[in-house]
Amino acid sequence: MSESTKARFVDFMVRAGVLTFGEFVTKSGRNTPFFINTGRYRRGSDLAALGEFYAEAIVDRLGADFDVLFGPAYKGIPLVATTSIALLQRHQKDSAFCFNRKEEKDHGEGGTLIGEPLKDGQRVVIVEDVTTAGTSIHETVPLLKKAANVVLAGLVVSVDRQERGQGRLNALADLEQRYGMPAFAIVTIDEVIDSLRGRAIDGRVVVDEATYERVVAYRRQYGGDPR
């Protein structure tokens, strides 16, 4: 993806209130100076733009070499829907999609997965919001493999936090190595803070020098080794 597209995505997250700086605790228990909450995308215009960013990242990395988008419940559900629309409208790729329930349904159509019935050999791209330690992906892969003998074609997230996974590697690099699939992001946290450092958006400097130094210190403490 171009640097200008990445910069537009960073500004988009800030304006939507999705990317914030302060004091937070991640799911893995780490005290972090930044937080990405995709639950704050709440308008049709937000989802339309978000789908276009995801679709561009997927096509840029994978081309058309995939069959199905999979969205882990719950935040992955709107992500695969809007991304599939953007792929069709912007890239003429009519991709199927599916997602899972948190609990298996024992009536009606039953089962755990909704949408495209997975078949052996289909190439599946997992569309997730953010992954810190890779926990949700470790839960998702067995779910997909149980449904069919699918091929893991890739994992895309909005922001690569560039943190250690279960070892020394960056979580995305660890997932890529563990499952043999490309794992990539629209932007990395380094690209985010470099883009925002000292720059005003709508009259407000989002990342001043103190904030920048806190993020850099956090990266030194928890940063994972690159691929």
Annotated catalytic residues are 105, 107
Rounded Cα distance between 134 and 206, Å, is 28
What contacts 201, CB < 8 A, 6 or more positions away?
11, 14, 15
Tell which residue, 137, 142, 113, has the closest CA to residue 126.
Answer: 137
Strands 111-115, 96-105: pairing is: antiparallel
**Cis bond upstream, residue 212 (ω within 30):** no
Residues forming a β-bridge with 100: 113
**Are the C-beta atoms of residues 143 and 100 closer than 8 Å to each other?**
yes
